[in-house]
Structure formats: structure tokens, C-alpha cells
Structure 1
Amino acid sequence: MSDMDTFREEGTASEPVSLYQRILGDIRDRILSGEWPPGYRIPFEHELTTQYGCSRMTVNKALSQLARAGLIERRRRSGSFVRQPQLQSAILEIHDIKAEVDALGLPYRYELALRNRRKATKTDLIRLDVLPGSPVLELSCRHFAGRPVFCIEDRLISLEAVPEAAEESFAETAPGSWLVDRVPWSAAENTIRATGADAATAGAMGIAPGTACLVIERKTWSADQPVTHVRLTYAGDSHALVARFTPPQG
């Protein structure tokens, strides 16, 4: 069982909600709703003790559980802060695309090719777990490393989960970075596969049709609400995934 599973189970008992559970739930809800964004300093323990009329031990227990769930970071003498979401999964870390290009020592450039606010279709249900007719924002972008296209990004954002995305043009800011800065996420699922570039992909990337490509698809949730689905397509000869493993202890 994961730390997040443990966190979610704290409030499922049939007994009345305790002060500990109330503090846990109040802080969790403020983080997941975006009211307290990444980097926000949570009230100090003595402030929460006064606010809830409870012992410092109860507050400390709730904050410790939030830290184990990955929602906050506790810093000695500085207090507790909402944690910046980490772009990673159980099998590998997914870096910010600009950071990937910067690491190659090449100039980065971003280009928005499509921005379409529409109602979700039945096909979108497979990608993002949203009901047909729900408002979504469809985006297609290109990321460059020097002159060549480094990656194509096709993304679907649930406007029920992130309504403010409807007001963002994404003309200058890549949607991945924008979402990470504004929407705390609690779960992500990655799918990795190889495919040959179809005519549209080949034209967008400037490669020959049928060229081997690496495709990474990621779904992201905030609490139990789907936030976004992204498909990242890289030319297979210019990108690699690296994961480091250690043998089990025992």
C-alpha cells in the first residue's frame, strides 16, 4: 500500500471525524484545490494548535501524514510548505521538456500549433476519463532543440478540473510547465510505446514517414479528478529513457 493510499484511508472509518482527521482534510483540500499553491507556507504548528483548539501533538501528527503523502515538505526552523509536484513515476523520471533541451546545450524554442476549446467526445473518455460533453481544452505544441523538432506534445486538459486554463492562451508558455506550477497532482500513470511516424507526425517533425518514434503518454489526477492527458512523441533515434534500479534488500 502506498503512502497516498494510507493518506486516503485516514478518513474512511465509520467513527466521527476526529480533530486529527479534520486538520488533515482541511489542509489536503486547500492544497488539492489550488488555494494553497506549491511553495505556500502552511501556518506554524502553534498557529494551527490555536486555530483548532487541540494539542501540538495532534497537529504534528497531521502534518507528518501530509509529508508522508508527498503533499507538503517540512523544513527545520522554517515551517511546512506545499510541495512542488515531482514529474516522475514509479519507473522513471519525466523531466520538463525545456530542461531536457537545456541539458543538451541546445537553444530551446516552443511553438503552439493548435488550441481548441470544445466538448469531450467518446474518444476522450479513453484518454482522460471525462464524460462526453464535458468541457476540455485540446492543445498541440512543438518543442525545438536548435532547428530540429525535439518533441511533439498533444494534450487534453479537463476544464472542470482546471477552469482557469480556458483563459490561458499558451502562446508563450508550454502547458506542461503551466499545469505543474498551478495544479497539485496526486497520481500519474505513464504508458511508453514505440510506433512508426504517420504522415501527419512525420510532416510536423520533419522526418520520413515510418520513422521509429518513442511515444510517452501520461494521465494525471488531482485527488480522484482527472486533470490532463498528454502524448509526447520523440524521434526514436534522438531520445532515450534511462532508469536506475537497485537489487531488493533482504
Structure 2
Amino acid sequence: MPLTLTVSDEVRALVPGFTHLAVEAHGLVNGPSDEASSALLDDAARRLAERLAGAGPDKDPHIAAWRAAYSAFGAKPSRTRNSAEALAKRALADNGDGGAGGLPRINRLVDAYNAISVAHLIPVGGEDLDKIQGGMRLVRATGDEPFVTMAGGEETVEHPEPGEIVWCDEAGVTCRRWNWRQGPRTRIEDGTVNAIFLLESLAPMTVAELTAAGTELAESLEKLSPGARITVRTPE
């Protein structure tokens, strides 16, 4: 049964132009970053540089929309950048040799979705389906929800600020400040075999552009994990 994804009325009222698409995948084969996943990042950095033509990521209309959305729930977008802007800045850093610059190599699946985020300037997150408890919800936090993270090499529990937009499941917050920082509890690791990838967009990005990004991610996953069962779910 597909994972249930719910966006609260409070979030839709605050940011009415929000749309998301999910790519659900079963039977994946993950592992350390390799030549194939690194090539996806190299290509994404090249496409981003061509798209921006020397401008900063914050000048892109879609990133500007995310900055406005972060401001709407009280975050400072220059201090806590959405994941797409943060990755784009790394991709453009030290990129004089035509490579992926400062983009991290995490593992094959994370590399694949990070490449889509950079190439399309769209926040993309990945969660291990086997670690999610219940459905996933995008809500405005009360401030009481637990967020398990790491600090100084030790596991610790934080809490979001009241009104902060967060993704959560039945066990607590999975990603703070919408798509700013993912918790380690549900992240995709080398042994992940079942995963869901969330692509998030705001106007002026169109549904067609969002769908194209989701389709490209599905194609990348199929190449990295032949035989995996992959479903691109309709934008919501």
C-alpha cells in the first residue's frame, strides 16, 4: 500500500502555491557513491551553471519563491536555506574544472536525488520507507514534536519552533523547516532497499516541470537499480 502523504490546511493556507510529487521505489540496490552516481552529479552541476549563467541561485524565480515561503513561517532564508538553494551553492563552488565542485558524494541513491535537485533547482528529499512510522504529514509544528538528531557525535532530541513547517510521521519530525535539515532516523543509507522521494515545488514552477523532474529521477533510479519497482505518483 502506498505511503500516505498529507499536507495540512494550515500549510496550504500559508503557502497556497505548494505542490509535491512522490516517487516510491521498492527493491532498490544502494551502496557507496560510484562512477555512475558521480556522473549524475557532474551533469547536474553543468546544467545548473548553464541555467544560472553566472547569477546566484537566489536570483532564480523558484528559489525566490522558497525564500518567501520560509519568511512566511518565520525562518530566515539567508541563514537556513532550503535544501535546493544550499545544494546549488555547493555545486557552484570551485567548479572551474567542469566537475561537481563542492557537491557531496553520500551514496548512490542520495546522489541520484541530489542531482535532480541541483539540475532542476527543486527541493528533493529521500526517506527510507522501512523506517517511517505511519504516514507522513506536512504541518505547522506545535513545538512539542521530537526531532532526533546528532550533536557532537551523540544522539539528541530537539524540538521545532511553534509554527515552523515540518515533515513528520507518527514518531516525530523527519525534516525541520520544511526541507532544511533531515533527521538521521529515516534517512537513506547504504542498506536501504525501499524508499520514497519527495519533490516539492512552488509557483512559478509548473506541474509539467515538476513532473519532468520526477520522471527523470525515476529513470535515474531504474538505471542504478535495474529491476526496482518504481512509481511516480501524481503531483498533489
TM-score > 0.5 by shorter chain: no
TM tier, shorter chain? under 0.3
* TM-score calculated relative to the size of structure 1: 0.27
Q: Which has the higher relative contact order, 1 or 2, with Cα contacts under 8 A spaced 6 or more apart?
A: 2
TM-score, normalised to structure 2, is: 0.28
Point out the structure with max Rg over C-alpha. 1
